[in-house]
Amino acid sequence: MATNTAELLMPQGLRLGINPLGWTNDVIEEFGDQTPVETFLREAAECGYQGVEMGRKFPREAAVLKPLLAEYDLALASGWYSGFVAERDAEAELDAVADHAELLAACGAQVMVYGECGRMPGSAPLDAPLSRTPALGEADWPAYGERLTRFAEGLRQRHGLELAYHAHLMMLVENEREIDALMAHTGEAVGLLFDSGHIVAGGGKPAALLQRHGSRINHLHLKDIRHDVMTEVRRDDRSFNRGVRDGMFTVPGDGYLDFAPLLDFATSTDYRGWLVVEAEQDPTLAPPREMATRAHDHLATLLSR
């Protein structure tokens, strides 16, 4: 039951979820390291969210996770997977993902978030300057797209999961040109995760990408940006993790992005799926429950219009 939040009436076929990164960061381990998963689940439910994505504090056995989610009346929207299709073949990747995919499917998820971690710089790529983002050569795209398509088709056939490819800072697909190349060189089994924060931070124009690739979008992350911080991060060529520590991302309604076009896309097209609030933040500076409530109320106001 939601508390202290505006009423949110979701259009048919759409559900609102939240990612635990505001409570516990998956990479910067001191961010929320002492926060148990039960705190996140309870506060997410109390703020009015219908589902959650997985984080590092989640139990990895379906027999434990399913009743835990049910206790808070939450669905499992998805979960991140760090893939290496850029470096290995589809069959090897399907073997690597099997346990994770089985857990997602057993707990009711229909989409798996895919982050391409192949070819990233150094042993700590998210601590490297943003200018060192990896890139595929023009000649490499057909083979990469073919392997990725076979992986996505295998994920669907073996586990009943759709692949949602996350365009992401410091990964192979970051900017608008790379998203276009990804869509051109992959089959329909490869869906696109549209993350508003990463799209804009990568220099993309959301409206144009929604128009060109809307039919391939199968998962939405609603992330806002603090414009002044992002400007400084880019100017000083800071790392992704430094940017997160400095507060470049936040929840919808706390930054400068306009979410109305993204909600228009979700409500006026054939999109059926999750809208997931996500923002990597230091929980001591951005209290998670407060931020989750702010995002929920902001989206409720936009949807009510």
pLDDT tens track for 133-153: 999 999 999 999 999 999 999
Instruction: Judge whether residue 276 has pLDDT over 80.
Output: yes
Per-residue pLDDT at 246: 98
In percent, the amount of the chain with pLDDT more than 90 equals 95
Mean pLDDT calculated for residue range 252-274: 96
At 7, the pLDDT band (50, 70, 90 cuts) reads low
At 5, the pLDDT band (50, 70, 90 cuts) reads low
Per-residue pLDDT at 75: 98
Q: Homologous superfamily of 14-304 in CATH?
A: Divalent-metal-dependent TIM barrel enzymes (3.20.20.150)
Instruction: Judge whether residue 118 has pLDDT over 50.
Output: yes
Provide φ and ψ at 221, rounded to 5°: -110, 125
At 264, the pLDDT band (50, 70, 90 cuts) reads very high
CA nearest neighbour of 50 among 5, 2, 4: 2
DSSP 24: S
Token pair in block for residue 102: 């089985």
Show the beta-strand stretches assigned E in 84-182: 111-116, 162-166
Instruction: Judge whether residue 289 has pLDDT over 90.
Output: yes
Mean pLDDT calculated for residue range 242-262: 97
Q: How many CB atoms lie within 10 A of CB 17?
A: 25
Per-residue pLDDT at 295: 98
For the stretch 192-217, pLDDT in tens is: 999 999 999 999 999 999 999 999 99
At 156, the pLDDT band (50, 70, 90 cuts) reads very high
Instruction: Judge whether residue 1 has pLDDT over 50.
Output: no
Mean pLDDT calculated for residue range 275-288: 98
Mean pLDDT calculated for residue range 12-37: 97
At 305, the pLDDT band (50, 70, 90 cuts) reads confident
Per-residue pLDDT at 9: 76
Token pair in block for residue 166: 């996350």
Per-residue pLDDT at 92: 98
Task: Report which of residues 143 and 1 the model is more confident about.
Answer: 143
Domain definitions of the chain by residue range: 14-304
Per-residue pLDDT at 12: 86
SS3 content of the chain, % helix, strand, coil (to 5): 45, 15, 40
Mean pLDDT calculated for residue range 17-43: 98
Query: DSSP string spanning 169-216?
Result: TTSS--SHHHHHHHHHHS-TTEEEEEEHHHHHHTT--HHHHHHHHGGG
At 3, the pLDDT band (50, 70, 90 cuts) reads very low
In percent, the amount of the chain with pLDDT more than 70 equals 98
Show the beta-strand stretches assigned E in 19-72: 51-53
Mean pLDDT calculated for residue range 232-258: 98
pTM above 0.85, yes or no: yes
